[in-house]
Every structure is written in structure tokens, then in C-alpha cells.
């Protein structure tokens, strides 16, 4: 589910993801060609559930990248995905902020991910080669796969994340 009221909130039911055969995570996307930079300002979704999600670059279930927060804890940020059917973690860090700026940039076949607490001082999360001539989409997503050793509780409603903005530059 999603709601728009000064911010976009995306809610992901338990178990929704963007990996292997489970590509049912809720998302909003748009097609993109060539070099670009996309960024968003993300916020905690709801007090009663984890904040999991962020930006992503999607070709198909075997080729995508995720720039996201919260997967391995409240302050976690990461760049991970699947390239040619192989899952990989390309970079990971921590950012001590509730309001997290996320950015993904593509130049040629190189993609890099950045984060910032204020939108001015950017920190690298990771970088990888992502060669593709196939139609590509960029957008926002939420994840409902909750790591119970990190987030203790039942979380019957899954996870949620809010976005203040989404900016795309080509």
C-alpha cells in the first residue's frame, strides 16, 4: 500500500522483497536511459514497524541494484543487488540520522551509491559496474523481509518507509 500526503509512504507486507523468486516488494518506478542521478529524502515510516527501503535501479529479476536503509539495523545503509543472476553486497555503512538522503548515480556502466544526513555532505556507500543495454527503471521501494535477529517483535503489518522527495537529473 502507499499514501501521499506531503510525503509518500510505502508499506510492505511481511515477506515482500526484491530477490530471487520473490520480487513482490512494493515500488514506484519510471523508465530511464543513459547517465543519470536520482536522489530521495527518506524518513521512518511508522513507529510500530521497521523502516526498510530506498532507491533502486531495475532491469529484471536477475539485474537490479538497491540503495537502501534499515536492512541490517536502524542506522544501516547499503548498496546491494543482483547482477547476471548473482546476489552481491557492493557496499555498506552507517548513518546516524532519521532523515536520510540517498542517491544513486549512473555514468556509463558504473553505478555508485551515496548517503547524507543533510543533502550537502555526501558519503560513499559503494560502487559497481552495471552494464546493460536493456530497458531500465529507477524508483522507490519498500522491503517487507524483516531480519528478526535485528528487529525483535512480530511486526504483523510488515515495514514502512516515507519519502519527502524524489529528484531525477539526466
pLDDT in tens, 22-76: 889 999 999 999 999 999 999 999 999 999 999 999 999 999 999 999 999 999 9
pLDDT of 1 above 70: no
CA distance 163 to 170: 21
Q: Is the whole model's pTM more than 0.75, yes or no? A: yes
What percent of the chain is modeled with pLDDT above 90? 90
List Cβ neighbours of 155 (8 Å cut-off, separation of 6 or more). 14, 48, 49, 50, 146
Inter-residue contact 41 to 53 (CB < 8 Å): no
Amino acid at each position: 500500500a502507499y499514501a501521499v500526503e506531503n510525503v509518500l509512504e510505502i508499506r510492505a507486507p511481511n515477506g515482500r522483497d526484491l530477490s530471487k523468486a520473490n520480487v513482490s516488494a512494493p515500488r514506484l518506478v519510471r523508465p530511464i536511459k543513459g547517465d543519470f542521478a536520482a536522489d530521495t529524502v527518506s524518513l521512518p515510516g511508522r513507529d510500530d514497524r521497521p523502516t526498510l527501503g530506498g532507491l533502486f535501479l531495475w532491469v529484471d529479476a536477475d539485474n537490479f541494484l538497491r540503495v537502501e536503509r534499515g536492512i541490517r539495523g536502524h542506522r544501516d545503509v547499503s548498496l546491494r543487488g543482483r547482477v547476471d543472476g548473482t546476489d552481491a553486497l557492493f557496499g555498506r555503512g552507517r548513518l546516524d540520522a532519521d532523515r536520510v538522503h540517498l542517491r544513486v548515480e549512473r555514468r556509463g556502466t558504473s553505478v555508485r551509491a551515496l548517503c547524507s544526513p543533510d543533502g550537502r555532505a555526501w558519503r560513499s556507500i559503494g560502487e559497481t559496474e552495471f552494464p546493460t543495454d536493456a530497458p531500465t527503471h529507477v524508483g522507490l521501494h519498500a522491503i517487507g523481509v524483516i531480519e528478526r535477529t535485528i528487529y525483535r517483535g512480530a511486526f504483523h503489518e510488515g515495514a514502512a518507509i516515507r519519502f519527502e522527495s524524489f529528484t531525477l537529473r539526466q
